[in-house]
Amino acid sequence: MPTGGMDTSKWWRYKDLRKLNLLLIFPLLSIFSQGFDGSMMNGLQAVTEWRNYFGAPKGAVLGLFNAAYPLGGVIGVFFIPIVSDRWGRKAGLAFGAAVSVLGGALQAGSVNLAMFVIARLLLGVGCIITAGVGAPFVTEIAHPSQRTTATALFLTFYSFGSIIAGWATFGTFRITNSAAWRIPSGLQVVPSAMQLLGVWWVPESPRWLVSRGRSDEAWKMIVKYHGDNNENDELAVFEFEEIQLAVNNRVESKHKGIRNDLNNLHAFIKTPGNRKRLAILVWAALISQLSGNAFVSYYLSPILASVGLKTDLQQTLINATSQMVSWFSALYFATLSGKLGRRTLFLWSLAAIWICDICITIGSALFQKDGNKAAGYSVVVFLYLFSPAYNLGLNGNLGLYISEIAPFELRTTGLAIFYFSQQCFNILSSFTTPIGLENIKWKFYIIFVGWVMVEFAVVWLLFPETKGPPLEDIAALFDGPREHGGEKLDLEALESKIPAQTHTAEQVEKI
């Protein structure tokens, strides 16, 4: 890939590239609300006013509170390809943000259990749409040399949302009325409202514009933001030709509406390459939800109580500070995908998660056996370490990987499949975890110790490395050679170029 006329390591010197990178904040906020929700629900379970207002839910009732959000996500995934592929990335993002604002407002104003659950359903619908649209949006408009970093940063905003929610619940738990939980609930509206207002200034995806026959607009966007307004810029010309080739040659179906959506779903089982993509998307969704992360994401409060940390102050403070550790680690690890490789980070992350699961299990068992305080504190330490272990490969790296393995015409459908699978696994985890913790206590953790080993083995066997090739050429790793500007793009030749291209990427990605 040509390097172009801009030195992107000093991107702030270029007016339009600087503007683009600042505008990326709006699609990057797409995952913020999901992180906010998990941390907020962790915090609210430690807030006496919330427990008293809703009758101290536990077991299946507590599972319903938390599972309502991913259940809404299951509904929302069906809207992702509809709003994103037909209306465009900007309009799709705005639609999801509007639904999220409605859900957040209802949650803050809830007067009973039913209203709170319905509000969480709406939040799940809206947030999954913004996540499903925002991920490809970032991938498709970011400067090619910054795409890896920008896309990897996408999921780090989950941790950022977690920090805000953690400190919000810590700051309000002392309030002696329902404002203790209504204020954090209302704050969940803010990022979605910012998106709803600000997304209209973000440039539309050039890939979507080309797919709609608006190539002139796509060319203008690429020249302005990726070519420094130079129509002869080698990178801009190369990128535009790549997009036209990928979009125009691959979009075989001209059907509109539901029939086109069904065709896209059928495409995932039609060829060996797409079947492999489908298997990866589902397995990636599974490891993101069933590796023990529900302990940290939604049920930190009962776990802390099980090792003797029961006060509102202790639980909300641990929740808030652990989210800060999570965010800082997510930011740093987001820079490693282009250096160490996607598959490598997946494997390292699962190995680290496995160690944390083992230590949490042992510490909990020893504390419940004889009240060993040192064992209880060790559980807290590894709960803190779990988030960095998870973020190493299953945060920014995961968001980058699932966005780049699918070709353009299947990208939003692929993300819809991923988020549908992820929310289904989230429902399973959210609903069963409080029941397991209530009935078999620390023995429930043993399930994850064994299961993470299975996850590691499947990733080792199934996931290819995608570090190196341009976005449009990653398809060759799944589908084999394709025509490329009149010449065959050979898979072996592509793989042999990966080290050299990676070296170049490392140089230009120091943003």
Q: Is the confidence at residue 326, as pLDDT, over 50? A: yes
| % of the chain exceeding 70 in pLDDT | 89
Give the pLDDT band of residue 220 (cuts 50, 70, 90): very high
Q: Which stretch of 44-48, 151-155, 319-323 has the lowest confidence by average pLDDT?
A: 151-155
**Whole-number pLDDT of residue 66:** 78
Q: Higher-confidence residue: 294 or 91?
A: 91
Q: Higher-confidence residue: 261 or 159?
A: 159
Hey, what amino acid is at 39? S
Listed ranges 36-40, 155-159, 279-283, 402-406; the one with the highest mean pLDDT: 279-283
Our measurement of the distance from residue 62's CA atom to the centroid of its chain's CA atoms, rounded to an integer in Å, reads 24
**Whole-number pLDDT of residue 286:** 94
**Whole-number pLDDT of residue 499:** 39
> How far from 381 is each of 282, 307, 386, CA to CA, in Å?
31, 12, 9
Pairing, β 482-484 against β 487-489? antiparallel
CB-neighbour burial class of residue 251 (10 A; exposed 0-12, middle 13-18, buried 19+): middle
Tell me if 161 sits within 8 A of 130, measured CB to CB: no
Q: Which two tokens stand for residue 179?
A: 């404002």
Q: Higher-confidence residue: 202 or 468?
A: 202
Tell me if 269 sits within 8 A of 275, measured CB to CB: yes
> How far from 61 is each of 55, 58, 117, 296, 419, CA to CA, in Å?
10, 6, 11, 19, 24
Sign of torsion over alpha carbons 203, 22, 321, 285: positive
**Whole-number pLDDT of residue 250:** 54
Query: Phi, psi at residue 174, to the nearest 5°?
Result: -80, -15
Among residues 113, 116, 108, which one has the least CA distance to residue 184? 108
User: What is the distance between the alpha carbons of residues 51 and 438, in angstroms, rounded to a whole number?
Assistant: 17
Q: Higher-confidence residue: 500 or 426?
A: 426
**Whole-number pLDDT of residue 482:** 55
Q: Which residues pair with 482 in a beta bridge?
A: 489
Number of Cβ within a 10 Å radius of residue 258: 9
The H or E element that residue 454 is part of is helix 444-462
Among residues 25, 12, 250, which one has the least CA distance to residue 141? 25
| Per-chain mean pLDDT for the chain | 83
**Whole-number pLDDT of residue 280:** 94
Hey, what amino acid is at 6? M
State mean pLDDT over 432-441.
Answer: 81
Q: Which two tokens stand for residue 216?
A: 């002139």
**Whole-number pLDDT of residue 364:** 87
Give the pLDDT band of residue 323 (cuts 50, 70, 90): confident
pLDDT in tens, 273-300: 889 999 999 999 999 989 988 777 666 7
User: What is the distance between the alpha carbons of residues 278 and 265, in angstroms, rounded to a whole number?
Assistant: 10
pLDDT in tens, 93-138: 999 999 999 999 999 999 988 899 899 999 999 998 998 898 889 9
- At 293 the three-state DSSP class reads coil
- At 26 the three-state DSSP class reads helix
**Whole-number pLDDT of residue 248:** 66
**Whole-number pLDDT of residue 4:** 72
**Whole-number pLDDT of residue 55:** 83
Terminal-residue alpha carbon distance, the chain: 19
Look at the block and give the residue holding tokens 């101290």: 56
Our measurement of the distance from residue 313's CA atom to the centroid of its chain's CA atoms, rounded to an integer in Å, reads 30
Q: Is the confidence at residue 355, as pLDDT, over 80? A: yes
**Whole-number pLDDT of residue 396:** 80
Q: Is the confidence at residue 369, as pLDDT, over 60? A: yes
Hey, what amino acid is at 60? A
SS (H, E, C) 382-417: HHHHHHHHHHHHHCHHHHHHHHHCCCHHHHHHHHHH
User: What is the distance between the alpha carbons of residues 121 and 105, in angstroms, rounded to a whole number?
Assistant: 13
Give the pLDDT band of residue 249 (cuts 50, 70, 90): low
Q: Which stretch of 39-53, 138-152, 407-421, 481-495 has the lowest confidence by average pLDDT?
A: 481-495
Give the pLDDT band of residue 331 (cuts 50, 70, 90): confident
Q: Which residues pair with 484 in a beta bridge?
A: 487
| % of the chain exceeding 90 in pLDDT | 27
Each residue of 80-114: b (16+ CB within 10 Å) or e?
bbbbbbeebbbbbbbbbbbbbbbbbbbbbebeeee
- At 482 the three-state DSSP class reads strand
Tell me if 64 sits within 8 A of 116, measured CB to CB: no
Q: Is the confidence at residue 221, as pLDDT, over 80? A: yes
Number of Cβ within a 10 Å radius of residue 508: 21
Our measurement of the distance from residue 8's CA atom to the centroid of its chain's CA atoms, rounded to an integer in Å, reads 25
Tell me if 88 sits within 8 A of 138, measured CB to CB: no
481 sits in the region (left: phi over 0; alpha: psi -120 to 50; else beta) called beta
Q: Which stretch of 208-212, 274-278, 430-434 has the lowest confidence by average pLDDT?
A: 430-434
Rg (CA), the chain: 23
Q: Is the confidence at residue 459, as pLDDT, over 90? A: yes
Q: Is the confidence at residue 376, as pLDDT, over 60? A: yes
* DSSP class per residue in 249-261: HH------HHHHH
User: What is the distance between the alpha carbons of residues 422 and 398, in angstroms, rounded to a whole number?
Assistant: 12
- This prediction's pTM: 0.72
